[in-house]
């Protein structure tokens, strides 16, 4: 730690001294009884809410958030996608020591960005138990996109089973939750480790139907957040076209689509223009084991038909797998994860996403390849065949650019999240200086993405798969952005 204090030389008071202070939030993390599935269960909530309270700020404010731990174990909160001083990032063992039972920790940091983000525990498997919420930062300048109403749509997955037991089951047999499921047509990519979930929209199960009101002719902004632990969602609103205007809190050139494939931890902002009556907000789990749903309506008394689930995923036969061209730069293709049978609707792909404003940067370039590796039998997930406990931190030199090849050598998609720094997807738009900035990059099975990182935020940062049980199993690394020592 002494060495790290020497190389990470920006002091926290200096970073916070010029920001206008926002209202202080007080958050308490404690157990709560719930019933999402028809059976009572024990959860962990923030201020007795699941999701936790939505935190709203304005760009440029100085955030003060006091978090009290009323659990019998350590806890924490991480501000997903926010560029903060590393001491405020909320990862026990990397950025701070965690929040012990009975203690209160005060997070303080300036807001240098705007957009849709979220927050969650980074301690153990508490995120699966309900410790998450949305975080919205209003822009300091006029928003480039016009809308009349603004709703957050936070998606999550709930299990009555203790998450620690879920992980124990997976370690005993990686296919534990797939027993009894027959893959039709033979071999296919793995879509999800855990089944038996109840899927929630803003903490509401499908049978209770979350609702949002509108008036005909209004433009409605929906802030989509995938806060699930293990589930990718395909989101659509039958009868409406969505105009996508943000990915991971960053403005993009508007794209009109009818469906969005949302990986764990990603956010997308869309604007819709409903005309009348009611529309279903429909988020299908990618393995088609269920869905979250809500209703966009002019009248809460109106009912709307829930659409049929898209047919089961096509089986991928071994012969077809053999024909795949693995490890292509999928940033410039139309693949964004496990694919369903072709449907007559326009689906958003990574190749469609262009930063609205320039993201071009200069500086000496480093090169790095990170292989996404794993063994399903032993449920061991890793980077470059090394789990977190086996690996040394990755070092970036402050001020340099780093080009990273994310090579997925497994049959599962992995949403790769980097704390404290942006990943600029190399999807073709970098040639014109508009590579989209992302905090979470989905890497499809047996494929590759290339990202570029500006190492402009000194400190210690977590880098991991955002499938919760994959990170716990070892697909996790520390990145250190070091300034040159003067000694």
Mean pLDDT of 58-70: 98
According to the model, what pLDDT value does residue 426 have?
A: 98
> Burial, 408: exposed, middle or buried (Cβ in 10 Å; 0-12, 13-18, 19+)?
buried
> Burial, 102: exposed, middle or buried (Cβ in 10 Å; 0-12, 13-18, 19+)?
exposed
Choice between 187 and 403, residue whose per-residue pLDDT is larger: 403
pLDDT band, very low/low/confident/very high, at 3 (cuts 50, 70, 90): very low
What is the rounded end-to-end Cα distance, in angstroms, of the chain? Answer: 16
Choice between 193 and 160, residue whose per-residue pLDDT is larger: 160
Mean pLDDT of 56-78: 98
According to the model, what pLDDT value does residue 344 have?
A: 77
Instruction: Supply angle C-alpha 265, 336, 287, rounded to 5.
Output: 70
According to the model, what pLDDT value does residue 363 have?
A: 83
DSSP characters for 427-461? SSGGGGT-PPEESEEEE-TT-EEEEEEE--S-EEE
According to the model, what pLDDT value does residue 307 have?
A: 85
Q: Does domain 25-138 have CATH number 2.60.40.420?
A: yes
Q: Which two three-digit tokens encode residue 375? A: 């063994």
CATH for 357-482?
A: 2.60.40.420
Count of CA atoms in the C-beta half-sphere (13 A) of 142: 4
Contact 412, 190 (CB under 8 A): yes
- pLDDT tens-digit readout, 333-372: 334 444 445 557 899 999 999 999 999 999 889 999 999 9
Q: Which two three-digit tokens encode residue 6? A: 């020497």
- pLDDT tens-digit readout, 471-480: 999 999 999 9
Could you give the CA distance from residue 21 to residue 191 in angstroms, rounded to a whole number? Answer: 44
CATH class of 149-181+191-306: mainly beta
Mean pLDDT of 98-108: 99
Residue ranges covered by each domain of the chain: 25-138, 149-181+191-306, 357-482
DSSP state of 259: B
Helix residue spans in 242-340 (DSSP H): 318-323
Q: Which two three-digit tokens encode residue 29? A: 């993390």
Confirm whether 149-181+191-306 and 357-482 share one CATH topology. Answer: yes
Residues 441-451 as b/e (b if ≥16 CB within 10 A, e otherwise) read: bbbbbbbbbbb
- pLDDT tens-digit readout, 108-159: 999 999 999 999 999 999 999 999 999 999 999 999 999 999 999 999 999 9
Mean pLDDT value across the chain: 89
């Amino acid at each position: 730690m002494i060495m790290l204090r020497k190389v990470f030389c920006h002091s926290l008071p200096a970073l916070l001294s010029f920001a206008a202070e926002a209202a202080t939030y007080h958050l308490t993390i404690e157990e709560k009884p719930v019933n999402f599935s028809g059976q009572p269960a024990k959860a962990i909530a923030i201020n007795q809410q699941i999701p936790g309270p939505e935190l709203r700020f304005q760009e440029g404010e100085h955030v003060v958030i006091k978090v009290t731990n009323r659990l019998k174990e350590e806890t924490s909160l991480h501000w997903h996608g926010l560029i903060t001083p590393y001491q405020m990032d909320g990862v026990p063992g990397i950025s701070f020591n965690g929040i012990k039972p009975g203690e209160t920790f005060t997070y303080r940091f300036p807001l240098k960005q705007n957009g849709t983000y979220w927050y969650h525990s980074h301690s153990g498997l508490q995120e699966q138990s309900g410790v998450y919420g949305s975080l919205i930062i209003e822009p300091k300048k006029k928003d480039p996109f016009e809308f009349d109403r603004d709703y957050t749509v936070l998606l999550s997955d709930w299990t009555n089973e203790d998450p620690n037991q879920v992980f124990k089951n997976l370690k005993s047999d990686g296919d534990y939750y797939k027993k009894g499921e027959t893959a039709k047509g033979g071999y296919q990519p793995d879509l999800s480790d855990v089944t038996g979930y109840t899927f929630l929209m803003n903490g509401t199960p499908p049978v209770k139907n979350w609702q949002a009101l509108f008036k005909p002719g209004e433009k409605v902004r929906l802030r989509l957040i995938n806060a699930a632990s293990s589930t990718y969602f395909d989101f659509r609103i039958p009868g409406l076209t969505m105009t996508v205007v943000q990915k991971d809190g960053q403005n993009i050139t508007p794209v009109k689509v009818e469906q969005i494939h949302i990986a764990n931890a990603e956010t997308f902002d869309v604007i819709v223009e409903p005309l009348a009556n009611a529309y279903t907000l429909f988020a299908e789990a990618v393995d088609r084991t269920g869905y979250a749903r809500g209703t966009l309506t002019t009248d809460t008394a109106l009912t709307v038909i829930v659409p049929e689930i898209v047919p089961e995923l096509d089986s991928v036969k071994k012969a077809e797998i053999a024909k795949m061209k693995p490890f292509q730069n999928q940033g410039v293709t139309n693949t964004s994860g496990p694919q369903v049978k072709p449907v007559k609707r326009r689906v958003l792909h990574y190749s469609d996403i262009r930063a609205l404003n320039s993201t071009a940067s200069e500086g000496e370039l480093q090169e790095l390849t990170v292989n996404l590796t794993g063994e399903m039998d032993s449920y061991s997930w890793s980077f470059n065949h090394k789990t977190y406990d086996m690996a040394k931190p990755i070092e970036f030199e402050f001020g340099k650019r780093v080009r990273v090849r994310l090579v997925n050598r497994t049959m599962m998609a992995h949403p790769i999240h980097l704390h404290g720094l942006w990943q600029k997807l190399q999807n073709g738009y970098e040639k014109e200086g508009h590579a989209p900035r992302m905090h979470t990059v989905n890497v499809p099975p047996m494929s590759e993405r290339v990202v570029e990182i500006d190492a402009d935020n000194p400190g210690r940062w977590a880098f991991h798969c955002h499938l919760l049980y994959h990170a716990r199993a070892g697909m996790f690394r520390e990145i250190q952005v070091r300034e040159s020592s003067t000694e």
